[in-house]
Structure 1
Amino acid sequence: MQAFELEIAQGQIDDLHDRLGRTRLPDRTPGPDWAFGTDPDWLADLIGYWRDRFDWRAQEAALNAFEQVMLPLHGIDLHTIIAKGQGPSPRPLLLLHGWPGSVFEFLDILPILTDPARFGGRPEDAFTVVAPSLPGFGLSFAPGQKRFSVQEMAALFADLMSALGYPRFGVQGGDWGAFTGSALALRHPDRVTGLHLNYLPLRPEPSEFEREETAYAIIQGTKPQTLAYALTDSPAGLAAWIGEKFHRWTDHGGDPFTAVSRDRMLANISLYWFTGAIGSSFWPYYARLHGDWPVPDGAQVRVPMGHAAFPREIRRPEREAAAQMFPDIRRWTGMEKGGHFAAMEQPAALAAEIRAFFADLPA
């Protein structure tokens, strides 16, 4: 295990600015804004900000404010944040992001979880948070490395927690983090003290969302290599692809930057750009489409489970449906505001739910 700090070479930053300055945008499809994908005017404004005003070094420093390590596990170098709890007996918590997210999702929620007293909470509710970059995402990626399915990620993270000295731990996740956390709890129920989710990894039912909003998942699940060429070569294309998801999946009244700051969104996109990890981040979609569902049909995750149901989450199954997979639901809270990127959009509210859920469970 080696200590790690992120420092992108200035030449890479200069190259990004040069590419952004040579962006060629398509024409606008006639019709309402955002009706056919990312709005060209919105993207042009974002590209200009990214090129001329965005401060990557400030975001890099915000990440480096936390302890980070690289661990050789399962044939890759796994990047992990280890944020130590400031309390009498912090509980270990494995915190898992999804796509198109990264560990930049967690920079605002980590202090609330690790030092609750600073935010009006109780010191005894502190967590020591282990927040890895999913394999193939961001800093857990190197060209040519093997790809991981959700089931393989679950096995990797079980071994990560063992390597860090945590035989038992809680898990929290959204998006692929929810799938991975559920698969881990299914396979290692003796190790997981509780599972808290802000996304439910149930098989989707036919819906308007499935008809209009899942083309990205089909492309990423069938031809990930082809799409990777465009998004690895064009930062504008990458921003359009990821930016659309922040626009569609966050809780806002027309401006996604009221839900997630422009700088934090661009930090997340920039990490994909600088690491070249967008193509490898598609792999869980391919593995899911061409393999078993991460929690097999009929299987039950029997560890205590809690769910924060955010109103603008992309899928919102009913509690009765969730109980088929999670028979031990201890807490189910309808949240007032927030969407798919809950840790970025509503860090204080999500942290409060995580604390309340685990406070009622044995360590």
Structure 2
Amino acid sequence: MSTTIHPFHLEIPDADLADLQRRLANTRWPDAETVADTSQGPQLAKLRALVARWQGGYDWRRCEAMLNAWGQYRTEIDGVDIHFLHIRSPHPDATPLLMTHGWPGSVLEFRAVIGPLTDPVAHGGQASDAFHLVIPSLPGFGFSGQPTASGWNVNRIADAWIVLMARLGYERWAAQGGDWGGAVTTTLGYKAPPGLTGIHLNMLMFQPTEQERADATPHEQAMLDDAQRYDQQFSGYFKVQATRPQAVGFSLADSPVGLAAWIYALFQDVSDSAGDVESVFALDAILDDIMLYWLPNTGASSARLYWETMQSMRHGGMPSAPMTTPAGISMFPGEQVRLSRRWAERRFTNLVHFNELKQGGHFAAMEQPEVFVDEVRKTFRLAR
């Protein structure tokens, strides 16, 4: 296995973009929903507006140039090519920070926070808050390789990330994540590899105990109610991808509008937008994210991470013992699965920062970038 790190220059063939436009033009649309709200999923008018932008006005080459300007690389780890952004701070003593996205996110989740985190002085901050950023695409996501055999679960990804940081020459580093990135980052915290100085999470895959449910305060009960609503109303995608990812994968690979609707539903349901996606996200930002699934054809391979995790859960999930790695947690109110400080303190014995924010949801770095940056800075000031 090669340990070489290769620069990666993205240049999608014009023929691929032309094929996309043909598919969009030939879309066979479903009939409209029979309700006035989003309870049946994304509304026909919203998806038609998204696709109209995709067909006229949206510029993939702009996004492509942005990715290339940041600095993209690939390296083989455990038999899979890992794509990652590596953005060095102008401050040589900056803290290396590994940031991991989730589904249906991508490395583009962090676009609005890259500048403030790497160059805080240019954004009204202090040089001591600077970070060198390493932002990998999960295996089977974006321009990382697609595993050809089962076994790429959260634990294996965490091991790959440890190799990646060592390969980059970082002896001391920190980690951040939400969604699957939160699961990977939590796993890193439990593994506590030499050099990991702390973690920051904006989502935990959290299950309260029966006793915690019984003893819940009114504030905690509201969290439990939101988690139950997520399970009953919004988690259909999770259950499909955790049990039959390949079944939905055929549609995600063949229909750009099918893929777009599958992803748009999550931006709609788990952001702090009351279902009005465009009030929080620009259409081009959503389309950029969708393109990182469409162009490399990773609808099926990304969905399989859910299946892989369910297989690994049969052999035990996260460790039950409290974590000792310094940790910071930011709970955004639009996140459907949250935990209280009291619940967090039982699971993290070195909780250096905990905060419940007033705005923001599942896509915290996109929805509230300034707040997100402040939370990351506060955590790692205390974790150093």
* Pair 143,235 (structure 1): closer, same or farther in 2 beyond 3 Å: farther
The DSSP-based 3-state class of the residue aligned with 1:86 is coil
Matched residue, 2:358: 336
Provide Cα deviations, 1:166-214, integer angstroms capped at 9, x if missing partner.
1221000000000001111211254320110110122366612111111
C-alpha distance in 2 between matches for 1:338 and 1:159: 33
**Unaligned stretches of 5+ residues in structure 1:** none
Question: In the alignment, does 2:237 pair up with 1:237?
Answer: no
2:322 pairs with one of 292, 297, 300: 300
**Is the Cα contact below 8 Å between 2:137 and 2:143 reproduced in 1?**
yes
* Pair 352,270 (structure 1): closer, same or farther in 2 beyond 3 Å: same
Structure 1 residues 106-145: aligned runs within 5 Å: 106-142=110-146, 144=148
Provide Cα deviations, 1:38-61, integer angstroms capped at 9, x if missing partner.
111111111111111211111111
% of aligned pairs identical?
37
Matched residue, 1:356: 378
In the TM superposition, residue 345 of structure 1 has moved relative to its aligned partner by 1.2
RMSD: 1.7
Matched residue, 1:225: 246
**TM-score, normalised relative to structure 1:** 0.95
**Unaligned stretches of 5+ residues in structure 2:** 209-223
2:157 pairs with one of 153, 156, 160: 153
The DSSP-based 3-state class of the residue aligned with 1:2 is strand
C-alpha distance in 1 between matches for 2:68 and 2:147: 23
C-alpha distance in 2 between matches for 1:144 and 1:298: 31
- Tell me which amino acid in the other structure corresponds to 2:320: G
Matched residue, 2:84: 80
- Tell me which amino acid in the other structure corresponds to 2:266: K
- Tell me which amino acid in the other structure corresponds to 1:213: F
**Is the Cα contact below 8 Å between 2:140 and 2:147 reproduced in 1?**
no
Structure 1 residues 268-279: aligned runs within 5 Å: 268-279=289-300
C-alpha distance in 1 between matches for 2:318 and 2:63: 39
**Is the Cα contact below 8 Å between 1:78 and 1:133 reproduced in 2?**
yes
C-alpha distance in 2 between matches for 1:209 and 1:249: 8
2:52 pairs with one of 39, 45, 48: 48
In the TM superposition, residue 276 of structure 1 has moved relative to its aligned partner by 0.4
The DSSP-based 3-state class of the residue aligned with 2:295 is helix
C-alpha distance in 2 between matches for 1:147 and 1:233: 26
- Tell me how many residue pairs correspond in the alignment: 362
In the TM superposition, residue 88 of structure 1 has moved relative to its aligned partner by 4.6
* Pair 183,4 (structure 1): closer, same or farther in 2 beyond 3 Å: same
Which deviates more from structure 2 when the two are superposed, residues 18-27 or residues 282-291? 282-291
* Pair 290,146 (structure 1): closer, same or farther in 2 beyond 3 Å: closer
C-alpha distance in 1 between matches for 2:63 and 2:119: 21
- Tell me which amino acid in the other structure corresponds to 1:149: N
C-alpha distance in 2 between matches for 1:254 and 1:135: 30
C-alpha distance in 1 between matches for 2:320 and 2:146: 36
In the TM superposition, residue 29 of structure 1 has moved relative to its aligned partner by 3.1
- Tell me which amino acid in the other structure corresponds to 1:228: G
**TM-score, normalised relative to structure 2:** 0.90
The DSSP-based 3-state class of the residue aligned with 1:138 is coil
Provide Cα deviations, 1:41-98, integer angstroms capped at 9, x if missing partner.
1111111111112111111111111011111111011101111012251001000100
* Pair 37,175 (structure 1): closer, same or farther in 2 beyond 3 Å: same
C-alpha distance in 2 between matches for 1:221 and 1:242: 16
C-alpha distance in 1 between matches for 2:131 and 2:70: 14
**Is the Cα contact below 8 Å between 2:33 and 2:43 reproduced in 1?**
no
The DSSP-based 3-state class of the residue aligned with 2:354 is strand
- Tell me which amino acid in the other structure corresponds to 1:53: G
Matched residue, 1:208: 229
The DSSP-based 3-state class of the residue aligned with 2:10 is coil
